[in-house]
Amino acid sequence: MQLKKLLLAGSHAGSTAIAVVEEIRKRNLPYEIHWLGMEYKNLVNIGVIFHHLDSGKIENKATKNTVSSFLKIPVSFYKSRKLVKEINPDLVLSFGSAAGALVSFWANMLKIPVIIHEQTATAGRANIFSSYFAKLILISRESSSPFFNKHKIKLVGNPLNNKIISSINKDSRTKVKTILITGGSRGSTWINDAIKPILSTLLEKYYVVHQTGNGKLSDYIKSDKYFAFEQTNPKNMAEILSKSDIVISRAGANTVSELIALKKPSILIPIPWTYNDEQTENAKYMESLGLARILAQKELTAQKLLSEINKLVDNYSAINKNSVDIVSPDLLASEKIVDILEDEI
């Protein structure tokens, strides 16, 4: 049997792409799966063929990398055409970002069908662009609908890591023992700076697990109740999330989806410069379920964060009680997406 070629695209993969690949493997589908974007070893580890594309991007906030990142786009524009032609896939599934947008454009030009998936509660710039070349637009939240052609939309949810799904409704506690602090895979200077002055106070009552980001481990105190790490893979992060009682985090789409599935009371500090303010909208969705408190970055101080933590701890039992009937909208997302892939490939 000749294998069908499925091309996944995005600047960085994550639990979303991994969850879809795992569902494909679970069904033993005859697909040769390729990934085009930035390197992500966890996809390679599950048998995905990797093609590097440092696509650059249009940043929403000026940084020292803004110009160099933008200048990568013309080079990657032609490189992405070459790679798509060489792979010659039967179908493209794009998860957004500049790489996804470039692949979607060239796939459409080469008469290759394109499906895109939007993880956020709004819509990313790249996916809005890619939607004009897409046959189908898969969304995670109904609130994304106004950004896209309603005739192409299917609501499927945001795929969850298998480790998250297997941890749902486990290790339920009535008292806060462990606090997880994470600024995402790269860490957050804003969150780290707010934690430092109150870390000793927190350690008097709780265990603290802290994802600091690269090069930050030496900045913190030593304690047998404090566990810090720079980065980890999605499987390990899923286990860490499942064993934490409350979480202090940014509000990326995948993180929020996982927190909702695990019903973790959380303090969310959205990145304020995301396109369409997507992190704030993700956070508002979780807040509407009664699981999150939102702390704006402009209001973030050590004492304000400590106050929010204390409020969350005081209401911990009530939040858990009120969340009993919450069912994640993402539980069947992987299955729904792969059902669609089977119909289209």
Could you give the CA distance from residue 83 to residue 105 in angstroms, rounded to a whole number?
Answer: 13
Cβ neighbours of residue 310 under 8 Å, at least 6 residues apart? none
The radius of gyration computed from the CA coordinates of the chain, to the nearest angstrom, equals 20
Cβ neighbours of residue 108 under 8 Å, at least 6 residues apart? 114, 133
Could you give the CA distance from residue 187 to residue 190 in angstroms, rounded to a whole number?
Answer: 9
Cβ neighbours of residue 17 under 8 Å, at least 6 residues apart? 8, 10, 35, 40, 43, 95
Considering only CA atoms, which of 183, 310, 298 is closest in space to residue 246? Answer: 310
Q: Which residue in the block uniquely carries the two structure tokens 């005739």?
A: 151
The two domains 4-159+331-344 and 163-322 share their CATH topology (first three levels equal): yes
Question: 97-109 vs 66-87: helix axis angle to the nearest 10?
Answer: 40
pTM: 0.92
Is-contact 226 200, C-beta < 8 A? no
Q: Which fold would CATH assign to domain 163-322?
A: Rossmann fold (3.40.50)
Q: In what order do the strands lie in the sheet with 114-118?
A: 49-52, 31-37, 4-10, 91-94, 114-118, 136-139, 153-155
pLDDT of the chain, 345 residues: tens digit per residue: 689 999 999 976 678 999 999 999 999 999 999 999 886 677 888 999 999 988 655 555 555 555 555 576 788 899 999 999 999 999 999 999 999 999 999 999 999 999 999 999 999 999 999 999 999 999 999 999 999 999 999 999 999 999 999 999 876 678 999 999 998 777 899 999 999 999 999 999 999 999 998 877 776 888 999 999 988 888 889 999 999 999 999 999 999 999 999 999 999 999 999 989 999 999 999 999 999 999 999 999 999 999 999 999 999 999 999 999 999 999 999 999 999 999 999
280: helix, coil or strand?
helix
Q: Which residue in the block uniquely carries the two structure tokens 């286990």?
A: 239
CATH fit for domain 4-159+331-344, picks 3.20.130.10, 3.60.21.10, 3.40.50.2000, 3.10.20.740: 3.40.50.2000
Strand partners, 7: 34, 92
The per-residue pLDDT for 59 is 53
In 230-344, alpha helices (H): 234-243, 253-262, 278-288, 302-314, 316-322, 333-344
Instruction: Enumerate the domain spans of the chain.
Output: 4-159+331-344, 163-322
- Backbone phi, psi, residue 54, to 5°: -85, 90
